[in-house]
Structure 1
Amino acid sequence: MLIEEIIKRQLFPCFFGSALKMEGIDTFLNEFTSYIKEKEYSEDFGARVFKISHDKQGNRLTHLKITGGTLKTKAHIGKDEKVDQIRIYSGNKYQLVNEVKAGDICVIKGFKNIMAGQGLGIEEEIIQPVLSPYMDYRIILPEDHDWHQTLEKLSLLAQEDPQLHINYNNHTQEIHVQLMGAIQIEVLKNLINERFGLNVSFDHGKIIYKETILEAVEGVGHFEPLRHYAEVHLLLEPGKPGSGLEYEVNCKDEILSSSYQRLILTHLKEKEHLGVLTGSAITDMKITLISGKAHLKHTEGGDFREATYRAVRQGLKSTKSILLEPYFDFTLELPVEFLSKAIYDIEAMKGSFVMPDIHREVVSITGSAPVSRMQNYQSEVINYTKGKGRLICQVAGYHPCQDEDEVIKQINYDSETDKDNPTGSVFCSHGAGYNVKWNEVEDHMHIPLQLKKTSRIEEKYQQTTKFDDADKELEEIFTKTYGPVKNRNFMKETPRKLLNEPVYKHIPECYLIDGYNVIHSWPDLKELAKDNLDAARSRLIDIMCNYQGYKKCILILVFDAYKVKDNLGSSYKYHNIYIVYTKEAQTADMYIERTTHELASKYSITVATSDALEQLIVLGQGAKRISSRELRLEIEYLDKEKLAEFKRRQPKGYNYLLQDLKKYHKE
């Protein structure tokens, strides 16, 4: 039984001893031979590559374990790979052998393109790295150093480590590397110095963004200069978050031969395709070949490469894209007295978190936040907790970017001027090729569209939550206070079809504002409240009236009156908003929590407060939460926007007194 459990990796024996003192060695060897069963291997050849290295002569060495059959020298793997030597290493020394069998670990000299993680023979699948880098750094070379030679040397390191992505920018003539952070930078600097004697440095780095699409679309690529011809139609569909890129073929051989279909799939997989928002790599997408066309005489292999690339880009330009950024899943442990500071920081970083677990004097907060805002937060935690706090982060994949417009503006990428990744196509007329813009390709293409365009937004990036129906008693109270509530069904999901229908139905918005929390959070109102609380309250009421006019929502402004003895509470409508004073022993938090819970299925509720615990509670009830500071910023933005809109609508020119007097006099 123990042997079987060890084979299944359900049981892991542990031995104690000291090789230096010769203690426990015999026991270990005896038990090892007793409980270890030799693995049975397949007779068919298979191997798994686990490492790439180079010897002192610069020969490329492929380290692998044989998992089935045998491998001999001069054997051919695939079409282009040949076994020149088989080495069995012991430390830095090795011996040459002519054959290795299943279970052996060896080094092959002669392989040119086989990479680490790749499977050979019966081991067909490729093991992908568990983590992917989220930072891009520019390598700063010493003065008067040839970047061509440096790029060749760094390419050797990239072959040895699949997670080390080395890129060269032809326009800026800069070498970039994608890494996980400061620790990898130090390791890479030392490795470059030891291997090549170069003292390089790195810039501060930038976040690696990615792009995906929200709507399915058919992309068309055409490449037809003189004596060339190819047209490709691709269906681009949104995929699940974290799914990467998937490729399929849904095209009959009668339309396009299978050889050309395989060629198009090869071209799709051979390159990192860039999005049209920031030029970042695309992800979370399914690309299906649905049609294509070749010419018996003029089509060459490279034609389909150009048509395929252009079809992807034309499809991206024709649909709605979204920018993604990397996120951290974090656990923050710190003394309980720093809880409010931590929650404020997480909110400022636009992160989300769950109710903290308090163990005596230590609190543990778990959640997620954008890498761009949290990557340097560890040092801040150490500073304000005086070394008592601890932050543990783990990359949690890519999610929609919080500051998409700002990032796009900062990167300033123009897809139309990217000559390496064109969005248009090339057609031929009267023996000469001419370029056609992406939005005019459908007017020139030779194959009709295979499906209608869709405007359906994928539900994967729309976060919604369903709740039980409201309690009848509280609903009656709400109806009596604020008017009848029309019975609307909550947002229903549309089946995944190519329809021109929105996924969700509109539901009315309801804003709940914690009045006194806002007053004490806004500096000007806080200062006014010191002298006259009624004046600050009146000022806030007027501001909320204007805000409701912008938002066109139900707005309820709640004030605490729980300390007033024998107070039964009151509510009334003031202009276009509702004002509520809570009853005795009922705080504004209690009123907001209960209202949020009971009416979440009827309204899209947003709660404005800077009370951290209150935010956590209403978030758990399905409401959106906005801090008092964010509410102020939104109001200021809307004031400026509406003022600018008012000025734009004013008639041009000036009206002067009596300017039309002569006109009226003649009449």
Structure 2
Amino acid sequence: MADTSQEKQNNHKKHICIGILAHVDAGKTTLSESMLYTSGSIRKLGRVDHQDAFLDTFDLERARGITIFSKQAVFSWKDMDITLLDTPGHVDFSAEMERTLQVLDYAILVISGADGVQGHTATLWRLLKQYQIPTFLFINKMDQEGTDRKAILKELKKQLSDGCVDFEQASSLECAEDEWLENLAVCDEEMLEEYLENGTVEPESVIRAISGRKIFPCYFGSALRLDGVQEFMEGLRQYTVSRKYPDEFGAKVYKIARDDQGNRLTYLKVTGGCLHVKDMLPGMEEKVNQIRIYSGSRFEMVQEVNAGGVCAVTGLSTTYPGQGIGAEKATDMFVLEPVLTYQIQLPPGCDVHNMLQNLRQLEEEEPQLHIVWEEQLGEIHAQLMGEVQIEILKNIIFQRFGVAVEFGAGNIVYKETIEEPVEGVGHFEPLRHYAEVHLLLEPGERETGLQFFTDCSEDVLDRNWQRLIMTHLEEKEHKGVLTGSAITDMKITLTAGKSHLKHTEGGDFRQATYRAVRQGLKKAKSILLEPWYEFRMEMPSVNIGRAMADIQKMHGQFEHPETDGEMSVLKGSAPVSEMRGYQSEFLSYTGGHGRMFCSLKGYEPCHNQEEIIESVGYDSEKDLENPTGSVFCAHGAGFVVKWNQVEEYMHVESTWKSGEVQSEEDYIPPRNESSSRIELTEKELDAIYRKTPDPVRRKISAAPITVHAKEKGTPDPKWTECQNEKTRQEEYLLVDGYNIIFAWEELKELAEIHIESARDKLMDILCNYQGYKKCTVILVFDAYKVEGNPGEVLKYHNIYVVYTKEAETADQYIEKTVRQMGRKYQVTVATSDALEQVIILGQGAQRLSAAGLKEEVELMLKEIRSEFLGKIPEDRNYLFDYLSHDLAKEMEHVRLGGKVKK
């Protein structure tokens, strides 16, 4: 990559991308304005209440005095370039704020000195922790009466973190007081050791501790009066550091918007390499037409942006917030989401379909709207955070599209999950189409959303079909079967599937996948989830009893109240459905002296599930957009099979039975399979040797273990015959690999040169042996010294090769196997370990020494040789077939170019 002039400049000038966050009315936009003014970027200090703030670029923002959309400003302070992202403070627009967090190097959390840590402030703090963003705090409005610096700092330590430190003395560490240095050092162990040894702390150590979120510098002042702003900016210059980015191109999209001309803008941060105009972005078929660097409402067009830069680009039509481009990973799921859904009521004569397209355009910019067309009701629904967002959205729709819409009463957004694992099967086979999908649906942890995995052999279903199924799982919001709400907190794993060489098309797997999810949900025990608020109530102590009684009626829960003089604080959580509208009631009975802060806690099991299900009246069988049954074909025509009968018609055997990932009783590994790769869990691998009616339950390893096997469906006739003959006893030969290698002289000599060659030769010998004896051969090698090794089983031609897991020797593995199957099957163990032989005999198995195995192998070779010679045609003679062993060896030596031995 060429070293441009911009890159050379960046080499000696620090650049950081910093976001500014706050509870509404804490003075966030005012601080942004003051920083821009102090740096000289703007000549006039605007004010929110005067409707002339530099970053309030929309009329609605100026009129309401709040930030609705995130904005970008670019300025310099001494030797540091800053990209400042101003985010919304109102809780109704917190989703816009969260999307901005993805691209920040540092954050500024603004707190009102008069109000302290408010409800939304705590939510912001949790988000900053989740995204692991180093944070500076600016405590604003310290010019107001009643603000106490020490009391506020104490509250910050209690409510947020002990790492909150007053940085008034941080401008010169050499002159700082010992007490302050000690308070600083105790926040980080390495820094404390440094302080105890040297009596001071180096600036680099402070920078490292801030980056590691061990220290949160606190600055106090008044942004409106420019008090403390310069000191704060100097602190940013001293105690921040530029990030290092890779050379490989990457970018993270955090916002979609449109300019005044309607051009679609993709706001992104370059996280690796360099972005140029006319670049074709990785994984996309579109070029970047323009690169704009915005500052307020103005922008500068540039030809390139280096890593760390934030910009808006035109020319991209398929991008979305959270998308990762190139080497950058996408953000799977955001924390904050709406909990209320509203019907959008259109005026008479409005074209519904055109309006739906317009609303989809808004959904690109605000993905959390979740615009849904309810076909059965003929209604458009949207999910919103609250009343303020409704008013703003009505204004935006009227300004952009000239349509005056109204919103119906809000309903709670419910979700669904399952209690126990279940297999879902989907089949789609109308004439000249074919696809079958098997999915394992398992309950996940709360707030994890949907997670998708594949545990299907490529021998069973080709990789391209598996990827397509994963795409279909991710592309849609799957509905539950209780109320038709979206499903969440589940792990969905592809376990099996089937395609047709001629008739399968991509759309077939879409149908089969959707139906598999729904069929599994119909079989599962589903749970309805509802959103819960986390609340903090501050009220006169005389009202605490009333508040506690109200929360109990709401089916909520609370901690022991905290009392401080005449005021008390009650913390807890309760269902959103019960707390709606409680704010006004709370203010009424506290006489206006109470304050209540609510933030979304997450989803919990619904407290009145049956009541909600009945009131919604959802019938999953009548939801034609989300069918639960499957389509099969007979006599040249397709027919529909109900969900509870699909298993009777499915073409692929079930990979899961109730209570187990796989039925292991009577499972016998198929024989005579050529080598190709599949993946099995440790539990499935144990089925190779575990045959007892009541197998020992084992913890399933998270990591898949590799096995080699051929495509299933063509079992060896002899093997099938063996399965049908219940009275016939199976024969197993377990071989202690390294014991045999070092007992056989030729393998021992080879192992001294190359141990892998000795292993390979033993494996080939045993393959021949198995082919002749027709028993199941399991060759076991020690791998117990390999740290973190989960264990591995390979299917090598017609035998199984086991590498033991960490801390498990071959002896232990063999003893465990013999103990489990020795009484029921004919098991022989080949080893020369005397102690192991004694244990084997005690478990009912037969023993075979290394020398005995060698004799059997040699005898097998002689028998094979004699059988082969008996089949040689009479008109052909082979010299080597009639020579003695020594003479044949000598002749082979000469044939390969060697000299005749004298």
Q: Which TM-score bucket, shorter chain as reference?
A: 0.5 to 0.7
- 1:104 corresponds in structure 2 to 309
The correspondence of residues 289-308 of structure 1 with structure 2, limited to 5 A, is 289-308=494-513
Q: 1:17 to 1:394 in 2, by over 3 A?
A: closer
1:235, distance to aligned residue in structure 2 (A): 0.4
Find the residue that maps to 1:115 and give its secondary structure: coil
Q: Distance in 2 between matches of 1:47 and 1:186?
A: 34
Q: Compare relative contact order (CA 8 Å, sep 6+) and give the higher one, 1 or 2.
A: 1
Contact 1:136 1:177 in 2 (8 A): yes
The correspondence of residues 212-251 of structure 1 with structure 2, limited to 5 A, is 212-251=417-456
Q: 1:342 to 1:76 in 2, by over 3 A?
A: same
Of residues 124, 127, 137, the one that matches 2:329 is 124
1:346, distance to aligned residue in structure 2 (A): 1.3
Of residues 375, 378, 382, the one that matches 1:170 is 375
Over residues 121-145 of structure 1, what are the superposed CA-to-partner deviations in whole Å (9 max), with x where a residue is unaligned? 2221326433111100011222322
1:336 aligns with 2:541: yes
Of residues 517, 522, 525, the one that matches 1:312 is 517
Over residues 46-96 of structure 1, what are the superposed CA-to-partner deviations in whole Å (9 max), with x where a residue is unaligned? 222222111233221111122221112222221323212223334444444
Find the residue that maps to 1:303 and give its secondary structure: helix
1:245, distance to aligned residue in structure 2 (A): 0.8
Q: 1:284 to 1:495 in 2, by over 3 A?
A: farther
Find the residue that maps to 2:348 and give its secondary structure: coil
Of residues 65, 69, 85, the one that matches 2:273 is 69
Q: Computing the radius of gyration over CA atoms, which structure comes out larger, 1 or 2? A: 2
Q: Distance in 2 between matches of 1:81 and 1:252?
A: 35
Q: Distance in 2 between matches of 1:332 and 1:107?
A: 42
- 2:254 corresponds in structure 1 to 50
Amino acid at match of 2:320: M
Contact 1:2 1:11 in 2 (8 A): no
- 1:378 corresponds in structure 2 to 583
Amino acid at match of 2:246: S
1:20, distance to aligned residue in structure 2 (A): 9.1
Q: Distance in 2 between matches of 1:146 and 1:332?
A: 46
- 2:480 corresponds in structure 1 to 275
1:149, distance to aligned residue in structure 2 (A): 2.7
Over residues 107-134 of structure 1, what are the superposed CA-to-partner deviations in whole Å (9 max), with x where a residue is unaligned? 2111111112222222213264331111
- 2:819 corresponds in structure 1 to none
The correspondence of residues 192-203 of structure 1 with structure 2, limited to 5 A, is 192-203=397-408
Contact 2:333 2:449 in 1 (8 A): no
Over residues 306-327 of structure 1, what are the superposed CA-to-partner deviations in whole Å (9 max), with x where a residue is unaligned? 0000000000111211111111
Of residues 602, 621, 628, the one that matches 1:397 is 602
Q: 1:79 to 1:339 in 2, by over 3 A?
A: closer
Of residues 636, 652, 659, the one that matches 1:447 is 652
1:426 aligns with 2:631: yes
- 1:571 corresponds in structure 2 to none
Find the residue that maps to 2:246 and give its secondary structure: coil
Contact 2:363 2:369 in 1 (8 A): yes
Find the residue that maps to 1:233 and give its secondary structure: strand
- 1:502 corresponds in structure 2 to none
Find the residue that maps to 1:397 and give its secondary structure: strand
Contact 2:221 2:229 in 1 (8 A): no
- 1:2 corresponds in structure 2 to 203
Farther-moved stretch of structure 1 (296-305 vs 345-354): 345-354
1:25, distance to aligned residue in structure 2 (A): 8.9
Contact 2:252 2:330 in 1 (8 A): no
Q: 1:209 to 1:26 in 2, by over 3 A?
A: closer
Contact 1:215 1:455 in 2 (8 A): no
The correspondence of residues 406-555 of structure 1 with structure 2, limited to 5 A, is 406-454=611-659
- 1:511 corresponds in structure 2 to none
- 2:726 corresponds in structure 1 to none
Q: Distance in 1 between matches of 2:318 and 2:658?
A: 40
Q: Distance in 1 between matches of 2:324 and 2:500?
A: 37
Q: Distance in 2 between matches of 1:49 and 1:19?
A: 33
Q: 1:26 to 1:367 in 2, by over 3 A?
A: closer
Q: Distance in 2 between matches of 1:353 and 1:428?
A: 58
Find the residue that maps to 1:81 and give its secondary structure: coil
Q: 1:217 to 1:33 in 2, by over 3 A?
A: closer
1:81 aligns with 2:286: yes
Q: 1:95 to 1:331 in 2, by over 3 A?
A: closer
**For structure 1, which runs of at least 5 residues remain unmatched after alignment?**
457-493, 498-667
- 1:365 corresponds in structure 2 to 570
Q: 1:384 to 1:324 in 2, by over 3 A?
A: same
1:36, distance to aligned residue in structure 2 (A): 5.0
1:263 aligns with 2:468: yes
Of residues 41, 64, 75, the one that matches 2:245 is 41
Contact 1:136 1:178 in 2 (8 A): yes
Q: 1:348 to 1:30 in 2, by over 3 A?
A: closer
1:297, distance to aligned residue in structure 2 (A): 0.5
Q: Distance in 2 between matches of 1:298 and 1:173?
A: 36
Q: 1:40 to 1:13 in 2, by over 3 A?
A: farther
Q: 1:38 to 1:275 in 2, by over 3 A?
A: closer
Contact 1:331 1:366 in 2 (8 A): yes
Amino acid at match of 1:40: K
1:358, distance to aligned residue in structure 2 (A): 2.3
Find the residue that maps to 1:116 and give its secondary structure: coil
TM-score, scaled relative to structure 2: 0.48
1:336, distance to aligned residue in structure 2 (A): 2.3
Over residues 190-237 of structure 1, what are the superposed CA-to-partner deviations in whole Å (9 max), with x where a residue is unaligned? 333343343322111101111111111111000000000000000011
1:163, distance to aligned residue in structure 2 (A): 2.4
Q: 1:431 to 1:212 in 2, by over 3 A?
A: same
Contact 1:19 1:25 in 2 (8 A): no
Amino acid at match of 2:248: D
Amino acid at match of 1:5: V
Q: 1:34 to 1:315 in 2, by over 3 A?
A: closer
TM-score, scaled relative to structure 1: 0.65
Q: 1:391 to 1:225 in 2, by over 3 A?
A: same
Find the residue that maps to 1:325 and give its secondary structure: strand
Q: Distance in 2 between matches of 1:367 and 1:81?
A: 50
Q: Distance in 1 between matches of 2:655 and 2:525?
A: 19
Q: 1:371 to 1:144 in 2, by over 3 A?
A: same
Contact 1:129 1:163 in 2 (8 A): no
Find the residue that maps to 1:441 and give its secondary structure: helix
**For structure 2, which runs of at least 5 residues remain unmatched after alignment?**
1-201, 662-696, 701-902
Q: Distance in 2 between matches of 1:82 and 1:357?
A: 59
Contact 1:3 1:37 in 2 (8 A): no
Amino acid at match of 1:176: H
Contact 1:3 1:36 in 2 (8 A): no
Q: Distance in 1 between matches of 2:427 and 2:642?
A: 11
Amino acid at match of 2:503: H
Q: How many residues align?
A: 459
Give the alignment's Cα RMSD to 1 decimal.
2.6
Amino acid at match of 1:365: L
Q: Distance in 2 between matches of 1:387 and 1:80?
A: 58
Find the residue that maps to 1:163 and give its secondary structure: helix
Contact 2:206 2:239 in 1 (8 A): no
